[in-house]
Chain A
Amino acid sequence: QQQVKQSPQSLIVQKGGISIINCAYENTAFDYFPWYQQFPGKGPALLIAIRPDVSEKKEGRFTISFNKSAKQFSLHIMDSQPGDSATYFCAASIINNLFFGTGTRLTVIP
C-alpha cells in the first residue's frame, strides 16, 4: 500500500515556467514532509521540507504548499531552469521512517 501518492509521473515545462508536483497522504500521524531531488546515478538530496503546522514554506524558487485538512501538499518550482531537470520525490515521515512517493520526472526545455 502506497503511503504517499504522487502525481504527475512526468512533467515537461518550458524554461521560465512553473513546475507543480502534487502529493497526497492518508496517515495523519505523519509529522514532517520533505521533498527530495534526485539526479541520475545519484542519491536523493533534500530540497525543502515542511511541518504540518505551516501552510507554506518558500526557499528561493521552491515553495511547498501544505493543506492539512485535505491531506495534500505540493511543490512549486518557479522560473524553472534546465538544471532543475531531475526526478522529484515527496515523502512523509513518522519518527525516523520516511515514506516516499513514486517520483516525478521533470524535464525543463530550454
Chain B
Amino acid sequence: DTGVSQNPRHKITKRGQNVTFRCDPISEHNRLYWYRQTLGQGPEFLTYFQNEAQLEKSRLLSDRFSAERPKGSFSTLEIQRTEQGDSAMYLCASSSPGGGSYNEQFFGPGTRLTVL
C-alpha cells in the first residue's frame, strides 16, 4: 500500500513537552496538507506545502506549531510546550499536481495526540 503514512499513530505526552509528528505523502504528490480534527468535528486546515515551500498557514497554527518539508518529500509537524487543548487527531493529506483549481486530497490515518 503506497498511501499516505503517518507516525506515530498515537502519542501521549505531558503538558509542556514538545512533540513531533511525521507524514510521508504518496510519492508522486507534490502538495502536502496538515489538518487537525477534534472529537465530533470535521478536519480543520492548518497548513499547506507545495514541494518544500510552505504556501499557506491557518490562524489555528499558533507560534507553538511549526511544520517543515525540507526536501519536498516527507513533512514534520512540531508542537512546542504542548497544552491540553492541543489534544486532537492530526491528519496529513497529499495531492498531485494537475489542472484546475482543486486536486483530490488523500488522507493518512492520522496521529492521535493526548496531552495530560
Contacts and interface: CB of A to CB of B under 8 A. Distances in A.
A100 B109 contact: no
Interface in B13-34: 31, 33
Interface residues of B, number: 24
B115 to A, nearest CB: 19
B101 A103 contact: no
Interface in B21-65: 31, 33, 40-45, 48, 56
B109 A96 contact: no
A31 interface: yes
Given A41-B109, A42-B109, A96 B103 contact: yes
B80 to A, nearest CB: 25
Q: Is the interface of A mostly helix, strand, loop or mixed?
A: strand
Interface in A58-110: 89, 91, 93-103
Given A42-B110, A43-B108, A103-B42, 11 more contacts: A31-B102, A95-B102, A96-B31, A96-B102, A97-B48, A98-B45, A99-B45, A100-B42, A100-B43, A100-B44, A103-B41
